[in-house]
């Protein structure tokens, strides 16, 4: 059974990596050498060419077989308005959603667990008049994640958050405030747990 699973995963990874590279070329997504994927990634590059940029050796899971933690979850990389998504070298994503109106930047060697969601916007104004008049004045601010960060499964990261290098975010956390380097945070809303020695 394990041998069949591994063989199936190798075949799916091989085929979907090729298909995703074609989809990225069509969508204007830039990717570096060594890109790998398991499952079809959903690209919505509404900001135009080069709004989604990936470094070298990025590995993206986008199906339940690749990571069963989030069932049949998929990875979505979406930019709109002037949004940008920048993913550094050796980053691993698993069934994640990155939705950018402004800028989402992920530093090298960062790992994001299944079901992580990053939003750099509120999607709607808090002012009811703005919502009635076509949803104008929508707040947004960049999300910047440092290098060698580990983000557990089911985490939600909201606009304006900066996560420092080598920090850890516990599973299921909601990140509304910035996290310094080399700290562990967890909870909803996330709070400081301890320093990393």
Say if residues 29 and 83 touch (Cβ distance below 8 Å): no
Query: Which is the catalytic residue, given 6, 49, 124, 195?
Result: 124
Digit-by-digit pLDDT tens for the chain (197 residues) are 678 777 888 898 999 999 999 999 998 999 999 999 999 999 988 877 779 999 999 999 998 777 777 666 899 999 988 899 999 999 999 999 999 999 999 999 999 999 999 999 988 878 777 777 776 778 899 999 999 999 999 999 999 999 999 999 999 999 999 999 999 999 999 999 999 98
Is 42 a known active-site residue?
A: no
Sign of the dihedral through C-alpha 114, 118, 123, 127: positive
Sign of the dihedral through C-alpha 58, 64, 66, 67: positive
Q: Tokens 């998504």, residue? A: 85
Q: Which residues on adjacent β-strands are paired with residue 191? A: 186
Distance CA(38)–CA(166), nearest Å, equals 26
């Amino acid at each position: 059974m394990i041998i069949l699973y591994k063989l199936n995963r190798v075949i799916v990874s091989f085929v979907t990596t090729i298909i995703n590279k074609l989809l990225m070329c069509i969508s204007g997504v830039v990717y570096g050498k060594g890109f790998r994927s398991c499952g079809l990634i959903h690209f919505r590059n509404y900001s135009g060419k080069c709004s989604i940029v990936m470094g070298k050796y990025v590995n993206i899971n986008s199906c339940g077989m690749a990571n069963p933690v989030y069932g049949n979850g998929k990875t979505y990389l979406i930019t709109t308005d002037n949004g940008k998504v920048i993913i550094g070298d050796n980053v691993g994503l698993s069934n994640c959603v990155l939705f950018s109106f402004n800028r989402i930047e992920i530093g090298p060697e960062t790992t994001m667990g299944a079901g992580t969601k990053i939003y750099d916007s509120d999607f709607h104004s808090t002012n009811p008049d703005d919502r009635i008049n076509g949803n104008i004045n929508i707040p947004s601010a960049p999300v910047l994640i440092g290098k060698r960060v580990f983000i557990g499964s089911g985490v939600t990261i909201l606009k304006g958050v900066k996560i420092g290098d080598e920090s850890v975010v516990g599973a299921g956390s909601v990140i509304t405030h910035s996290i310094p380097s080399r700290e562990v945070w967890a909870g909803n809303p996330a709070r400081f747990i301890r320093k990393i020695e």
